[in-house]
Structure 1
């Protein structure tokens, strides 16, 4: 029996050993030969396909954005009233046209955040107006670039170049679009759009992981638009495309691509290692089989007694094919794993954001069925009866960024978004939120109820509670702008624009508030141009250092506070104040101009940009103006004969009709040399005595010609001219037409 048992044991041992050998060769050969071969090929194909898609996606994203800007510029050239007024304007100092043009530039920058700066060049007078300054072409810092495209504009975006808004500020790397006005002839001027290459880099930064992949973008001249962060020694390029729109080239690959390529090419090494493992495995199998054949026999016995719902291919001669069973199970697991991996390769977050931006920007246009289909795939709310767009903006975002680290900012923004979603659930509101900028969270509320007033009240209550909760529980506040309900798909973008417009009135209505577009429409908006004369009066009093300029300044802001202006309109008014002040300072003296350029202008601009409310803007700007007035007053007292010149001006304004008014007359009245009087008058007023006197006389003459029936000789006598011929010659030189023609022209204008 003992010998028989030993014989049976040896028989089982041999059977076990022989049964393992085929599996060993199949599995080991498959794993060590095929696995690395397939892995190498699969990695190569996946890397190639992934990088092709990465390059294509980056190219399409950048081309789409640049085309949108290009199309917008073409439409504005054809349709925009402010643009046509600027290029058709005959006067450089037309404040209304210039302010409207600057406002339009800022609207374009707001609508297309990729735009870094804009400036317009008018051929007629070589005048250049940008969103930040205005100059003549011969002194403009970008003169060389403009001269290159003066006669013929480029049909595409330019190569990368350095652009400076101001000589004291370092330039930015930009690409530019130059379009002529009008669109066909280009005879009136140029529009130059500058897009920062850093903005383009940030736009495609989310498409890839810089630790794994890289994207190189080069312009038509081969200059790299972005600074390369990857190591060029180990990087390997897998794809290369050239844009048919911009002629830019796009390359992408793996940061450690050469290492992967080296590993995949070591087939001989894998072959040797595979054979070595076979030998080692065979020896190890003998040792393990001798030690563990009895437990394995028990396991096989249990498997034989277990009935499985298997297909006929797994049963041979009434016995379960264990190895086929294991192989089938592995294949099922691998298939499920591949399906799961394929599903997660799709970037759901990117698709969700893209769909959201397509809805709010209305480009390209979606159909309702397309939206429903995409919403089902992304597990988003389906379109409802009405959609309400709201923008939640973090107040004083600059202070928010300075106060918190980047990690804390991410956590706080996540908390804000989660709070909005949780409170929407409490109010039984369906909500979709996406960050549209660093400081703005956009929310789309889906209203289902047929009762519009009830839904409007529910939506308003939701955002009021959100604002209140953030104020009580967070260390920052928010302001919420709500647009009109969108009943149709195409109205969603208009609702978003309404919400953006509502937030512009935050400077008037204050931070930590909820502003609805309905609230703005129900309030009468103030006229911007009604304040221009008040600004000029303030500047004139300030220039003369009169004490009442402070009261006039406070009265201006009181008038602004009584109306409802948005931030852009207020900033335009303050820019006009800076413009007029700068012109007057230049006319006072060289010292006053230097004081203004070095201190006053820069501080005023900074106060305007940093102000979050109208009251803060009033206090900060008045403080700067008061300091500037004190400095001017001190400089004024240091100069000789200032009061004398002031008395001279007063005397001229009172006795301009005196035919004997001259430098000799003034020298006799004030006991000074005539040449010295002329020099002092020029230094203190910025005008020659003759020009100052003629200006007063001609303004009075124009008034008499349009409001009285006096003859030309009588008008000449009343403004200080003894000869009507001399008066007519001077009047025509100033007005461009004779006094009689001026009166006739004025009569025709009055009669309509």
Structure 2
């Protein structure tokens, strides 16, 4: 167990697959072996019973035929005791009649008719005197003259005599079957049928299969009538006493001279004969041994195939773990090789990350108000352009915008009490809760001049529905704190980047409280007729193109001309502020597209809040002119230094990271805070190659050096240079060098 705990997960997988494979194979193998033993035994027993029943049936049929012939003879007027002994003529008629019976049944070799107290016996061939028949010609060893007469007079049942050689009938052993006539207590004659032993054996063998069984037939007294195996007679002598006390049918197992035998028997209800089969148990098991051999070979082949598949699946299942290990090593900079069990190593890394995460979460919770205010200010400045990105960023701060129409709202509290500033945060949170289901809003932590600034997302841009919501807020202020407020409301915008414009509008609307009166709700569209900034669409697009193209002189001249036009049109300060906001937002957006957002931070553009500090058109014009000069200067400096600086930084990074399996254009772009297409274009301009070509070249050169140093494990070589697929790398190597890595090693060795 300690060994398994220290084993690599790679081998644990393989051992576990092997155990899982072995258990069912062992159980199935044992079950099949035991099942076949019992099945073969039961099949042999069943087969023996069927065979014995068929043998019994066939012999019973034959014996019944002999009984019927004897009965017919007793009724035949030509074969009465009087006629057959009357004179020679009737004696010859008797022979002819008997021959008819013999000829009509092929099972009978010959038959003999004898009547008590008569000097002759009649067969189908001839007549015999009793003394001549018993003592000379037929010569029964176990049947003398007196016993012959006794059987005729006192035996009312048919009787069979064991096979023996009878001289007149030939060299074959014959079975004698004696049937008294008539069958009654006062019988006065007998019909003896002579049957070849081979006829009975042939009848049995036609039924038996050649599977090593010995078959015996015993009479009702347990004496042997016939056997198919003369060598088994001694064994039958041992078995016969057991059968006398047994039922009419059954199977038993006996051991004779240290050999186990399976004995099946059945007894005929007609004549009391017992039919027995005897077979060695080892012969029965021959089939089982053969099946076991085949099963073992099949199980072994299955086991080997299972091992191969287990190894293959283990490699496939372990591959994600290996990649995860490599990824963790590349991300953490810590080698996990010292930890034998990968999961233990992962557990340590995840535990460390979890601790860091909990620490970060604690810091986030502690700094949540600060983060909340930071993201709301970023939203107000127009630095967050996508709603989904906004909700993802602010999710940890407890704020979430469900709707698509955004407004800026400013509440100016009508009070001179200085203590009101202390409860402004409490008032703001309470007003956030007063918003209905169609509006979601949050207040910025900007508590100056008794103002509360809200960013509110609404389900629709309808000013009528929003007016009711603002009235509800005014009522809550009066009821809860006894404070009156004037509310300035900017236009609703579907783009988060234009929330800053709505903030300028809300401030402008609030400035109209001197005209509209305090404690009123003022919408910007009610006090300003249209927005002339919308007429600057073409101008803004031209500025964006100048920045994209890097046309510094044209951009500077265009901005100067634009400022002169603004002054010449004599537009309001509100419109100029909107134009400046659009211009600043355009510059920020364009610089982001060019991945020059660091220049925006270096220049220090005014945001939407500080933009309101400019109170004259001249101040705004000077600010725009200053922005244009700084933009031109930074773009020119960036362009001049990009050639040398980017090449050195990009090439150095690739030279250090090309062996990392996780290396990619996306990863490199994130590292340098640029978009992948922009990085790809710059890299090719500076090096003359695509990033993929450059990386493949480095990897191939490193492999060539390792091959020259004598390393020959292709899997390890490929992994060392950042590949995971050997065949893919071999294809790239051949495309580059014209030969495979193996051929390269052979050529270099020679």
Query: Structure 1 length as normaliser, TM-score?
Result: 0.32
* Max Rg structure: 2
Query: Structure 2 length as normaliser, TM-score?
Result: 0.32
